[in-house]
Each structure stands twice: as structure tokens, then as C-alpha cells.
Amino acid sequence: MIKLLIVDDEPVERDAIRLIVNTSLPNIKVVGEANNGFDAIKLFNQLNPDIVVIDIQMPGMNGLEAIQEMLKGGSRVKFIIVTSHSKFEYAQSAVKLGVKDFLLKPTGVDELIATLTKLTGEIEESKREDDTKKNFEEKISDIQKLLHNEFFVVVKKGIYNEELSRIFNLLQTPFHEGCVYLLKGKGITRLIVDRILLQIKRMGFREANDYSATETTLVIVNSDSSKKLVHTTLGDYLESYLQSLGIYDIFIAVGSLETNSAALPLSYKQAHRLAEQNGNEHLYEELNIKEEGSNRELLPFLDKIVPVILACNWESAQLLLKEYDTTLKSDDPLLLSLHYHQVGVMIKQRIAQDLRPFTLQQEELLYKMPTKGDLSGKRVFEETLVALEEIIERVGQIRSDLENPINSKVISYLEENYHRDLSLEELANHFGISIYQIGRLIKEITNSTFSEYLTHLRIERAKELLREGHLTVKEISWEVGFNSQHYFSRVFKKYVGLTPSEYERGV
């Protein structure tokens, strides 16, 4: 059954469309009706319709704005605009949004039926294609699972085996070089492993993992001959990354770097031997960073530089960073970049605790991944200085914005009412300014749109409640302002990378 949502501020028009559908199109069910754009978005998120018939001119939010909001989640819904306005710019905007059907009022019965019938056919065909694709992907997934199991059985035998070359060929994964890493400890969770895998993927490497709660085997593969996998450096980075998360009881053993996939079992054998020694043998011989520079100096450095950043004192921040950089005795630009990335993450977290509207994208951290093999450590430091200056400018902008009483009140109002069915229109009315002004103000303060910042507040609170573990996922979704558990889970996964249940299990 195809689900239809009708959006029009004229009851007569909604009644007419509903009557036509109910009497002439048995494969379509009207699942909801709205008389404005705001309610339409709410119903859209709750009902997940296949087709939306929508007017343009409506109070509050017009149809084109509503369509734009509905499409943010990547939905493949079909839109039919039914309106009395034939202005070219409306049609042009509709086409840009992907709307193919634009009907003028009064809409003929036959014309509407023909349009809905055509879209129904397209949707059903698309669903058949999706089913076929899903079945194919499930079969491929089953094959990959078998290959995955076979792969680790062979690797863990610890014996040179040409069978691995066949497996890589079947997986269509080029093998330039690779290494086995063993994670051992009591604190290994699926969430921790997933975070590590995310870091590895961001570096452009491929991975396979065999997870268990006490020992997880990672095989990291470099398929790009133009890059180099500095395996011991990467091992140190992963360990420091875990420490930045407050995890100190997981030991990482690094096997040998192999240029032949058949030799990966030998890498596993070495990693396993080192893991059994519980870290007594030094694994990272290629590292030049002093322990006191990368670990002991970091927390005092953060204690010094964060207040300086919050005070927007660029000169002092620059001096502190230069002083800290002298403790890092390394010429490896990759290692330096990875280290400064972690420094940036921790600075961001601390700033956000003091400056609540503070938001910073991943690419804005103190981090620039080297793109050339000859990138020097000096260049990495120079780029880090630039990133630090940008962060200080951002902090200064937020502090300046918050000095305006209304700005501070808006943020406080959002933080106190995020769990309600809050709209931009209500916010504008509360503060006595226009929707455009309140939207621009929020964007200037938070570097996010109203809906993005509202979602950010809701997801952060949801994460807190999941960590506490007292409420069910459904209860949490209602607690933080979502009307649908399904929609909450979808949004949560989009922002966090895990479903609420996965996040709860991993905490």
C-alpha cells in the first residue's frame, strides 16, 4: 500500500484530494493531513509517506521550504505540488528540489489520478529493485561472512599460506602491505573497537576484525601503493587514542609489516607472541616521541592552554603550543598530525564544557592529515598554529555573541525547552522578533541551524540518559523530544554512528 500525505491550508482542497484517492486509487492510502509546513514536517517524520501532495502558499512555512526540510534526511519520497500560483520562479525552485509534478488549481480529477498512478508505478518499481538489490546484498554478505571466517582461521594458524591471496582476490581487495594488531584487555567493547576502526578508515586503510571481549584481532591492509603503512606508528596512535578516551587497560601488540598477503599469519604469530608477554617487550622501536612529551606533558599543557583559548589570548596560546611542540621529538609528520588531532579533540571537549554553544567540525580541529609523503614536521606545526588561531577566533565570536543579552537568553531557552515540540516560529514569537532574525541569530551563535542545534541538544541528552541506563530507548526518545522511537533511532545513528541500543551496550 502506497502512503500519501496531503498538505494544504484549504480544507476543501484536502477533502477533494482525499475523496479522489479513496474512490479511485485503491493502492493508495491517505495516512495524514496537515494545513501548514510545520505540521507537515512533523507528520512526515512520523508517518514516512511515499507521496506528498503539497501546496506552496501556506501560513508559517511555505511548501517549498517544507519540502527542503523533508529532503534533509535523504528521503526518496515523491512530491506533487498542487497550487494556484503559476509563477515561473516557483516551478524553477520546485525542479531544483527534485519535484517533477507541478499541478495548477483547480486540479482536474483525471490529471491528479494520472499523476498519482504514474508515481505509484515508479514507487512500486523502485521497491522491487530495492528488494532485488537487498536479496543480492544479503547473498554477498553471506559469502563475505564465510570468507571472513575462513580468513581468520588461516591467519591464526600462524603459517605462511597462499590461500590468503585467493581470499583477497575474491574480496576484490588489492593488497600492497598489511599488518596484524592484537588488542588484549578486560575493557574491550564493540563500541571501542568500532571507534578504532573508524579512525583506521579515516586514514584510508582497509581492515578486517575478529572481535571478542578479551582479545580482538585486527588486520589492517594498505591497498594504495602510493601510501605507506607505518605500522608501529599507527599502533602507538591507536594506543594514545584509547588513552584520550580514558581507556588504559587495553594493550595493543603489533605484528610485522608484510608485503605479501600469504605472510599475514606470520604477522599474527609475532603479535600473539608479544601479547603473551603482556607488553614487556618494547613494540614501538620506530617511535621517536618521548613518553614524557606525548603523555606526561599533555594534560598539564591542556590545563594551561584551554583557559588561554577561552580568554582569546592568541599570543599566549601560540607560545604555549611552541613550548609543547619542543617536547615532541619526532620527525614523522604522520605521527605528529595524529597526535595533534588528539590534542584538538581534547581541547574541543574542554572548551565545550565551558562554552555550551561551542561547536566545531572534525576538519576544524588541530589536525591536518599529510597528503604528501615529504610533508615535514615543521609544516604540520605551522598548520596546527593556523587551526589554533581559527579556534580562538571562533571562541571570540561566541563570547561576543553571548554578551548580547538576547543571544544568551535564546541559548538558555533552547537548553531548557529542547525536549518540547519547539518550533522556530514559537521561538520568534517568544522573543518578539521575526523567524528570519531568530534563525540567523542561532546560526551566528552556534554555527548550526535551529533544527541542527535542537537535534544536537536532544542527542547529547539522550547519550547521557543511555549511559545512566535507567530508561528504555522508547522512554528516552520521548524524554528528549522525539515523538517516534523509530525516527529517534534513525537520527541518533546519523549523529553518533551507532543505534541507541548499540551505544547503550557499548558504554
pLDDT of residue 52: 92
Long-range contacts from 432-438, C-beta under 8 angstroms, 24+ separation: 438/410
pLDDT for 423: 84
Of 23-32, 68-77, 97-106, 227-236, highest mean pLDDT:
23-32
pLDDT of residue 95: 67
Which of 69-83, 155-169, 264-278, 321-335 is predicted with the least confidence, judged by mean pLDDT? 321-335
CB 185 within 8 A of CB 242: no
For 119-147, letters b (16+ CB in 10 Å) and e give bbeebeeeeeeeeeeeeeeeeeeeeeeeb
Tell me the C-alpha distance between 153 and 446, whole Å: 50
Give the model's confidence band at 222: pLDDT under 50 very low, under 70 low, under 90 confident, else very high: confident
Most confident among 88-102, 150-164, 456-470 (mean pLDDT): 456-470
Q: Does domain 404-506 have CATH number 1.10.101.10?
A: no
- Better pLDDT: 328 or 358: 328
Cβ–Cβ under 8 Å, residues 264 and 180: yes
pLDDT of residue 136: 73
**What pLDDT does 284 receive?**
32
Q: Where are the alpha helices (DSSP H) in 217-332?
A: 231-244, 264-276, 291, 298-310, 314-325
DSSP per-residue letters across 151-193: HHHHHTTTS--THHHHHHHHTT---SEEEEEEEEETT--HHHH
Question: Which pLDDT band, with edges at 50, 70 and 90, does 155 fall under?
Answer: confident
Segment 107-136 mean pLDDT? 86
pLDDT bucket at 376, cuts 50 / 70 / 90: low
* Domain extents in the chain: 2-128, 156-276, 291-401, 404-506
Instruction: Give residue 371's pLDDT band: very low, low, confident or very high (50, 70, 90).
Output: very low
pLDDT level of residue 409 (50, 70, 90 thresholds)? confident
pLDDT score at 396? 80
140, 237 Cβ separation under 8 angstroms: no
Read off the pTM: 0.37
CATH architecture assignment, domain 2-128: 3-Layer(aba) Sandwich (3.40)
- How many CB atoms neighbour CB 258 within 10 A? 22
Residue 363 clears pLDDT 50, i.e. is over it: no
Report residue 82: phi and psi, to 5°: -115, 110
CA–CA gap between residue 21 and residue 53 (Å, rounded): 11
Which class would CATH give 156-276?
Answer: alpha beta
Residue 345 has pLDDT above 70, yes or no: no
485: confidence class by pLDDT, cuts 50, 70, 90: confident
For 126, half-sphere exposure in the C-beta direction (CA atoms, 13 angstrom radius) is 11
pLDDT value of residue 356: 57
Cell 587551526 found at: 387
The C-alpha cell 614487556 sits at 280
**3-state SS, residue 445:** helix
d(CA 496, CA 80): 33
Residue 169 binned pLDDT confidence (cut-offs 50, 70, 90): confident
Question: Which range, 26-35, 128-137, 320-329, is most confident?
Answer: 26-35
Is the predicted pLDDT of residue 75 greater than 80, yes or no? no
What is the reported pLDDT for 291?
Answer: 34
